[in-house]
């Protein structure tokens, strides 16, 4: 067999293993190692497979991930999330579906200090859903808005997915994180508009919550300042080039740690934050080294170059091909998690996208937005399972029904990004690189 044929066989083998229920990290590592050995022989193939895990996860760029993850868990265990939601509900509760809108806004704020979508969904399943159900909100809406709100952490910096994208395609981490800011805000606005329209047309979904005085509203503002301060520090440091993303993440983690101690965090809370951060970091790093072993195998097989050449010769306009690629991600995301999907597809898809003339930063935001959508689409929709896991009283079927309006909002938002690329590219074009 030629190297190209071995590559095709490896792709088919990986798909078969994933559908049989083998975790992506193990399936990709196994197929990658076997493929490298088949093409290069035992000594060279096994030697290369053995060096990849260490060489890939010890890169300086990856050190930003544990910093960003730690920020989110410290903020949660310090109780900053509850204060953020309390302020949002007092300021926005008066609009139709006000508590759901407040959940989106609070989730946006928390996403700006947490790089993990599932963590955001888990936090607001505990914080926001009880309050919405208490005021008679439809439980499908309550579950759906939390699952969808959690996805905002995929775009708004600090985003773990954007860091992983940057590492795979060798683009600037800082530029990608800055580029995700406006698209994340646009996504949050789209969710909020969708909620207000739905609640205005069907008031039983979520009625306005009134009775808060202006004094109560202003007294809730100081509780939001710690998160606002961390967001300003991280964003400004990267935007103006004062610090690398890793340095900005470390500074942000230190600031949240000091704030957490000032708010009375004890050893138990700190221990839980450190353990959860370590567990999530190890999981992400394991997926990275396992899948990159498969990626190296694809490179030797020549599949990425062959796919790029084929795509460029298609008798279709670039926008039609791009829509086809996004539809491919939609289908793939029904069966795979976001990190595995990025790691497996980008080495093949990215060269084709660049050959079509698209900006790599723009494509990074668009493809991560697709990962957002995949986090709430059945049957794998990870955020939906997280909400159901935290709130088993809400059936998974209700969670999936609840996310449908937000899926529509995501499709509209994605269309805006395709039609107006400057929504994504304006900030990174004006930033100062360190």
Question: Residue 223 has what pLDDT?
Answer: 82
Question: Residue 56 has what pLDDT?
Answer: 66
Question: Residue 42, Cβ neighbours under 10 Å: how many?
Answer: 10
Evaluate whether 126 touches 336 at the Cβ level (below 8 Å): no
- Stated pTM of the model: 0.84
* Chain position carrying tokens 């609009």: 95
Question: Residue 39 has what pLDDT?
Answer: 86
CA distance 409 to 403: 10
The alpha helices in 240-317, defined as continuous H runs, are: 245-262, 267-301, 303-312
Evaluate whether 227 touches 113 at the Cβ level (below 8 Å): yes
Q: DSSP letter at 244? A: -
Residue ranges of the chain with per-residue pLDDT less than 70:
56-57, 115, 335, 379-380, 432-434
Segments making up each domain of the chain, as ranges: 1-58+288-301, 59-265+302-430
232 token code pair: 């300003």
57 token code pair: 């996860």
Of residues 210, 215, 248, the one with CA closest to residue 230: 248
CA distance 153 to 216: 29
CA distance 344 to 297: 11
Could you tell me what percent of the chain has a pLDDT over 90?
22
301 token code pair: 């097989």
357: left (phi over 0), alpha (psi -120 to 50) or beta: left
Q: Under 8 Å CB-to-CB from 427, ≥6 apart: which residues?
A: 178, 179, 181, 182, 239
201 token code pair: 């047309």
Helix, coil or strand: residue 378:
coil
Of residues 367, 358, 310, 376, the one with CA closest to residue 339: 367
E strands, 83-195, are none
Evaluate whether 79 touches 260 at the Cβ level (below 8 Å): no
E strands, 132-273, are none
Of residues 11, 64, 14, 431, the one with CA closest to residue 244: 64
CA distance 288 to 340: 8
Helix axes 225-239, 98-111, angle to 10 degrees: 50
Report the C-alpha dihedral over residues 376, 382, 385, 386, rounded to 10 degrees. -110
The size of the chain, in residues, is: 434
Of residues 161, 176, 162, 173, the one with CA closest to residue 339: 161
Measured at the CA of 19, the angle between CA 13 and CA 25, to 5 degrees, comes to 70
What is the chain's Cα-based Rg?
22
CA distance 242 to 431: 11
Of residues 70, 68, 23, the one with CA closest to residue 163: 68
CA distance 160 to 326: 20
Question: Residue 407 has what pLDDT?
Answer: 92
Question: Residue 335 has what pLDDT?
Answer: 67
Q: DSSP letter at 358? A: -
Question: Residue 434 has what pLDDT?
Answer: 47
Question: Residue 20 has what pLDDT?
Answer: 81
217 token code pair: 């509203």
Each residue's pLDDT tens digit, 123-141: 888 888 998 999 899 999 9
249 token code pair: 């993440």
113: left (phi over 0), alpha (psi -120 to 50) or beta: alpha
Helix axes 181-201, 98-111, angle to 10 degrees: 170
CA distance 39 to 19: 25
């Amino acid at each position: 067999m030629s190297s190209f044929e071995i590559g095709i066989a490896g792709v088919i083998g990986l798909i078969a293993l994933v559908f049989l229920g083998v975790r992506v990290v193990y399936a990709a590592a196994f197929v990658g190692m076997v493929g490298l050995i088949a093409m290069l022989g035992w000594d060279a193939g096994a030697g290369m497979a053995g060096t990849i895990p260490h060489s890939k996860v010890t890169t300086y760029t990856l050190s930003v991930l544990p910093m960003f993850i730690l920020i989110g868990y410290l903020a949660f265990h310090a109780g900053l999330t509850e204060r953020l939601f309390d302020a949002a509900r007092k300021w926005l509760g008066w609009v139709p579906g006000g508590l759901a809108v407040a959940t989106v806004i609070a989730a946006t704020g928390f996403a700006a200090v947490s790089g993990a979508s599932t963590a955001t969904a888990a936090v607001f399943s505990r914080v926001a859903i009880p309050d919405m159900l208490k005021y008679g909100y439809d439980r499908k809406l309550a579950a759906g808005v939390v699952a969808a709100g959690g996805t905002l952490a995929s775009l708004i910096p600090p985003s773990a997915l954007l860091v992983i994208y940057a590492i795979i395609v060798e683009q600037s981490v800082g530029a990608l994180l800055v580029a995700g800011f406006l698209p994340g805000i646009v996504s949050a606005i789209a969710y909020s508009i969708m909620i207000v329209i739905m609640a205005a047309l069907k008031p039983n979904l979520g009625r306005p919550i009134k009775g808060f005085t202006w004094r109560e509203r202003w007294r809730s503002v100081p509780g939001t300042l710690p998160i606002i301060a961390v967001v300003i520090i991280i964003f400004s440091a990267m935007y103006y080039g004062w610090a690398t993303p890793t340095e900005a993440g470390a500074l942000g983690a230190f600031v949240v740690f000091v704030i957490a101690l000032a708010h009375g965090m004890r050893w138990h809370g700190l221990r839980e934050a450190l353990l959860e951060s370590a567990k999530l970091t190890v999981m992400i790093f394991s997926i990275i080294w396992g899948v990159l072993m498969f990626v190296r195998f694809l490179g030797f097989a020549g599949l990425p170059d062959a796919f790029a050449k084929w795509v460029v010769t298609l008798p279709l306009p670039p926008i039609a091909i791009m829509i086809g690629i996004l539809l491919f991600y939609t289908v793939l995301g029904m069966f795979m998690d976001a990190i595995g999907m990025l790691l497996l597809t980008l080495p093949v898809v990215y060269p084709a996208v660049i050959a079509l003339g698209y900006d790599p930063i723009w494509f990074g935001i668009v493809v991560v937005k697709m990962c957002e959508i995949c986090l709430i689409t059945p049957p794998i929709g990870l955020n939906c399972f997280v909400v159901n896991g935290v709130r088993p009283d809400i059936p998974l079927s209700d969670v999936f029904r609840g996310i449908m309006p937000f899926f529509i909002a995501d499709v509209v938002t994605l269309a805006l990004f395709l039609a107006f690329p400057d929504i994504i590219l304006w900030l990174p074009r004006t930033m100062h690189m360190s």
